[in-house]
Amino acid sequence: MFPDHCVMAVRGRSCKNMFTFIVLTLILFISLSEVDSKKTAAKCSVCKDIVENFQKGLLSTQKSNYGGGNTKWEEKSLGSYATSEVRLVEIMENLCNDGSKECHSVLEEYEELVERYWFKEFAQKKETDLYNYLCIEHMQVCCPNFTFGKDCSQCPGGNVRPCSGNGNCDGAGTRGGSGKCRCNSGYMGDLCNQCKDGYFEDYSNETHTLCKVCHISCKNTCSEEGPKGCDGCKDGWLENEELGCQDINECLEDPCNENQYCTNTQGSFTCFSCDGACVSCTGSGPDKCNECSPGFSMNETKFCFDNNECEADETLCKGENEVCKNTPGSYECRCKSGFTRTDNVCIRVAKETRSSKQPELPPNLAEHLKKTGSKRKDVSWDKFKDIPSVNGHFLVMALYGISCRFAASSNLAIFALSLLMVIHVVWFATNSR
Ligand SMILES: *[C@@H]1O[C@H](CO)[C@@H](O)[C@H](O)[C@H]1NC(C)=O
Ligand SMILES: *[C@@H]1O[C@H](CO)[C@@H](O)[C@H](O)[C@H]1NC(C)=O
Ligand SMILES: *[C@@H]1O[C@H](CO)[C@@H](O)[C@H](O)[C@H]1NC(C)=O
343 lies in the same domain as 378:
no
Higher pLDDT among residues 373 and 307, named by residue: 307
The boundaries of the domain holding residue 321 are: 316-356
Has residue 61 got a pLDDT over 60? Answer: yes
pLDDT for 35:
65
53 lies in the same domain as 87:
yes
Higher pLDDT among residues 77 and 233, named by residue: 233
Would 247 be classed as within a structural domain? no
338 lies in the same domain as 371:
no
pLDDT for 198:
96
Find the helix packing angle between 411-431 and 388-406, rounded to 10°.
Answer: 170
Phi, psi of 39 (to 5 degrees): -60, -45
25 lies in the same domain as 87:
yes
pLDDT for 71:
61
- Domain end marker among 356, 385, 414: 356
Has residue 362 got a pLDDT over 60? Answer: no
Report which bound ligand comes closest to the CA of 168.
1
309 CA → ligand 3 middle, Å: 18
186 lies in the same domain as 64:
no
Confidence of residue 340 (pLDDT cuts 50, 70, 90): very high
DSSP string, 340-376: EEETTEEEEPPHHHHHHTSPPPPHHHHHHHHHHT--G
pLDDT for 20:
63
Q: List the single range of 3-12, 95-104, 196-205, 396-405 with lowest mean pLDDT.
A: 3-12
From the CB of residue 133, how many other CB atoms can be counted at a distance below 10 Å?
20
CATH code, domain with 323: 2.10.25.10
Would 243 be classed as within a structural domain? no
Would 249 be classed as within a structural domain? no
Has residue 214 got a pLDDT over 90? Answer: yes
Residue 393's SS3 state is helix
123 lies in the same domain as 182:
no
98 lies in the same domain as 40:
yes
154 lies in the same domain as 279:
no
pLDDT tens-digit map of 369-402: 455 444 444 434 444 444 556 566 667 777 776 7
Would 281 be classed as within a structural domain? yes
Domain count for the chain: 5
Report which bound ligand comes closest to the CA of 207.
2
347 lies in the same domain as 367:
no
Would 53 be classed as within a structural domain? yes
Would 220 be classed as within a structural domain? no
118 lies in the same domain as 95:
yes
Would 36 be classed as within a structural domain? yes
For 289, the enclosing helix (H) or strand (E) is strand 289-292
300 lies in the same domain as 330:
no
Q: Which atom of ligand 3 is nearest to the CA of 300?
A: 13
Give the whole-angstrom CA distance, residue 258 versus residue 297: 19
Higher pLDDT among residues 160 and 29, named by residue: 160
Question: 189 with 183: CB under 8 angstroms?
Answer: yes
- Name the percent of the chain lying above pLDDT 90: 56
**The model scores a pTM over 0.85:** no
Would 280 be classed as within a structural domain? yes
Residue whose CB lies within 8 A of the most ligand 3 atoms, among 288, 292, 299, for a mutation test:
299
136 lies in the same domain as 12:
yes
Has residue 181 got a pLDDT over 90? Answer: yes
pLDDT for 53:
94
Residue whose CB lies within 8 A of the most ligand 3 atoms, among 278, 303, 304, 308, for a mutation test:
303
